[in-house]
């Protein structure tokens, strides 16, 4: 019974930490959003395809690369714990 409670507490703590990190990540992304959009707008102003589509594509590419890097980092840490 005691092991179950300790395991629950550890998982609960891990979930809380994950939620807090996600919240801070969301705040960071909101802070950088305007900077990225303005930079991309300046870049796309030179092309005939000016608009939000190019902005969305560039932000998507940056986000996917970030997700891949984060997934790689955390997957190697999980393997070390085993």
pLDDT of residue 79: 58
Q: Containing domain of residue 27, as a range?
A: 2-81
**Helix/strand/coil (H/E/C) assignment for every residue in 17-34:** HHHHHHHHHHHHHHHHHH
At 80 the pLDDT is 56
- Residue 78 confidence (pLDDT): 54
Average pLDDT by stretches of 10, the chain with 82 residues: 87 87 84 80 69 77 84 69 52
* Backbone phi and psi for residue 73, each to the nearest 5 degrees, phi listed first: -65, -50
Under DSSP, the state recorded for 51 is: S
Which two three-digit tokens encode residue 26? Answer: 């969301």
Q: Residue 49's pLDDT is what?
A: 63
Q: How far is 11 from 17, CA to CA, in rounded Å?
A: 10
Number of structural domains (the chain) is 1
């Amino acid at each position: 019974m005691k092991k179950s409670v300790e395991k629950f507490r550890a998982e609960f703590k891990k979930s809380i930490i994950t939620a807090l990190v996600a919240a801070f990540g969301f705040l960071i992304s909101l802070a950088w959003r305007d900077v990225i959009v303005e930079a991309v707008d300046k870049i796309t102003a030179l092309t005939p395809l000016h608009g939000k589509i190019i902005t969305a594509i560039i932000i998507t590419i940056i986000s996917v690369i970030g997700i891949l890097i984060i997934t790689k980092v955390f997957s190697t840490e999980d393997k070390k714990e085993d």
